[in-house]
Amino acid sequence: MGVEDHAIRQQENLLARLDRLPINRRILFLIFLLGLVWILEAFDIGIIAPVLFVIRGLWHLQPKTVGLIGSAGTLGIVLGLLPAGRIADRFGRKTTLLAGIVVFSIFTFAAGFSRSVSEIVICRFIAGLGQGAVFPVPYLLLSEFVNKKWRGTAVGLANSLLGFSYGLNTLAGAVVVGHLQPDNAWRALLMLGGIPIFLVPLMIRYLPESPRFLLKAGKIRVVRAFVEELEDLSRVPHDENVIDPEALKVLEFSATRRISVLDMFRPPYLQRCMIAYSALLSPFVVFYIITIYGPSIIHRMGASVQNALYYTSGLLFLTVISTAIAGSVGDKVSRRWGLVAIMTVTTLGTIALGLPLPTTGVVLAAVIVWAFDYAGFPLAKLYMAEQFPTRLRGSGSMLGESVTRFLGGVVLVYLFPILDAGLGPARMFLILAVLTEICVLPIWLFGFQTSGISVEQTGTDLALAGGVEGERAGLDD
């Protein structure tokens, strides 16, 4: 056996040992840390909802200006995602995460001192650049840390904290609005968005780098020490003979070819990108509308300013439960079929939300839309991360985040107040529902099973040589 073959077997042995480990307290702590990142970043992103709700009336903003402020941060995220993916693949997931936290914390805090719409827009845009570097990284780390049987559950649990965080900032908005004058209230909310910078020392000290990234960087000893530590915690023997034959084929195949970013635009990854990105866009169609304009939608239905914030907060807290359940469903059933079912229910709820229903019907429609739309994300984002090999996973995932957030969080968020004023809620929500269902069609028709399979296998193009993809497709039949 040559030196290179021996190194590949060492890598696969460590990955196979990592994939057989149960969820121990170290992995739970990792999930908690990444969940904490999501809580603080989502708080930072979602804080614009109560802020916009307050300054819209305070500054007498026109629909175009509302759309500009609402979409500025997402535009920053879209542009920040593109270089961040390459940085994450080249310099590491952890480095990218830390840099992004510093940037978005500083500029969200600075936005609290804005004296004009343009200053808010600039600060939100730059903060968005940092957020773009952060948001997909926890998905990458969880997909590369947690064993193949529990990836969806782990992502679902961590991702459920997003709903908690969005609910928290809306609740904070209700409390602050109730105790401060409007001009002080929105400034105080933005200043609270600077809190995440205090998380950086904790992340430096306790967050490990992705073992799969470290192996690609040739740091086998570091990964071995980490895997052995996890095995000791779980009382699993250090078995250097454990090998997953199919995953070994993947590593051997990958070692014979150079991975390039351009591979994303060639078969089979071009088709995978189109399917996975469309699947991720499906929940994003409605997500930004209900996250940024949620209080305004509820207020239009008859709630007072403060109650609209409280009701929206309650809906967002509900998503904690639905998102956690969805992640488990993706592991036990299928990420593909789970997403199709969840987004179809979201479509029906979105149509109902625009109809002139009695109070009970409106409440039921709102519960369905918020709970099911958020539940689509752990399935869609993990499915996307599973489409690429390690050296492309960051770039592929962040390109997907960039494209879908641009369409859902910039284009639709900008157009929503303008079209809503002209078309009315019934037509506007019908359009959103149709777009949601169209976007989920490609994964329904052409997607493949990824649950219960290592990310080395799901992310390879070994199928071109008659390898594992045919077997994976068979699992879905």
Query: Is 38 a residue whose pLDDT tops 80?
Result: no
At 204-243, the pLDDT tens digits run 988 888 888 888 888 889 999 989 998 999 888 998 888 8
Do 268 and 461 form a contact (C-beta atoms < 8 A)? yes
Between 318 and 7, the higher pLDDT residue: 318
The pLDDT value recorded for residue 466 is: 39
The three-class DSSP label of residue 195 is helix
At 277-298, the pLDDT tens digits run 999 999 999 998 998 888 888 8
Euclidean distance between CA atoms 59 and 469, whole angstroms? 56
The three-class DSSP label of residue 357 is coil
The pLDDT value recorded for residue 5 is: 67
Do 323 and 159 form a contact (C-beta atoms < 8 A)? yes
Query: Is 422 a residue whose pLDDT tops 70?
Result: yes
The pLDDT value recorded for residue 300 is: 79
Between 240 and 456, the higher pLDDT residue: 240
Euclidean distance between CA atoms 353 and 347, whole angstroms? 10
Give just the sign of the alpha carbon dihedral 14, 452, 206, 394.
positive
Which tokens in the block code for residue 310? Answer: 């409280």
At 343-358, the pLDDT tens digits run 999 999 999 998 988 8
The pLDDT value recorded for residue 464 is: 37
The pLDDT value recorded for residue 409 is: 85
Euclidean distance between CA atoms 374 and 469, whole angstroms? 30
Query: Is 471 a residue whose pLDDT tops 50?
Result: no
At 391-409, the pLDDT tens digits run 777 788 878 888 998 999 8
The pLDDT value recorded for residue 467 is: 39
The pLDDT value recorded for residue 174 is: 81
The pLDDT value recorded for residue 257 is: 60
pLDDT-derived band at 252 (thresholds 50, 70, 90) equals: low
Do 61 and 181 form a contact (C-beta atoms < 8 A)? no
At 48-105, the pLDDT tens digits run 888 888 898 889 999 889 889 988 988 898 888 878 877 887 888 888 999 999 999 9
Euclidean distance between CA atoms 189 and 43, whole angstroms? 10
Q: Could you give the domains of the chain?
A: 3-238+263-475 (1.20.1250.20)
Between 443 and 452, the higher pLDDT residue: 443
Query: Is 472 a residue whose pLDDT tops 50?
Result: no
Least confident of 12-16, 81-85, 251-255: 251-255
Query: Is 474 a residue whose pLDDT tops 60?
Result: no
At 133-187, the pLDDT tens digits run 887 787 777 777 777 777 777 777 777 777 777 787 778 888 887 788 888 989 9
Query: Is 469 a residue whose pLDDT tops 80?
Result: no
Highest mean pLDDT among 34-43, 345-354, 464-473: 345-354
Share of the chain above pLDDT 70, in %: 91
Query: Is 117 a residue whose pLDDT tops 90?
Result: yes
At 293-336, the pLDDT tens digits run 888 888 877 778 778 888 888 998 899 899 989 988 888 888 89
- Find the helix packing angle between 390-405 and 359-385, rounded to 10°: 150
The pLDDT value recorded for residue 374 is: 92
Indicate the average pLDDT of the chain.
Answer: 84
The pLDDT value recorded for residue 50 is: 86
The pLDDT value recorded for residue 253 is: 61
Euclidean distance between CA atoms 417 and 64, whole angstroms? 7
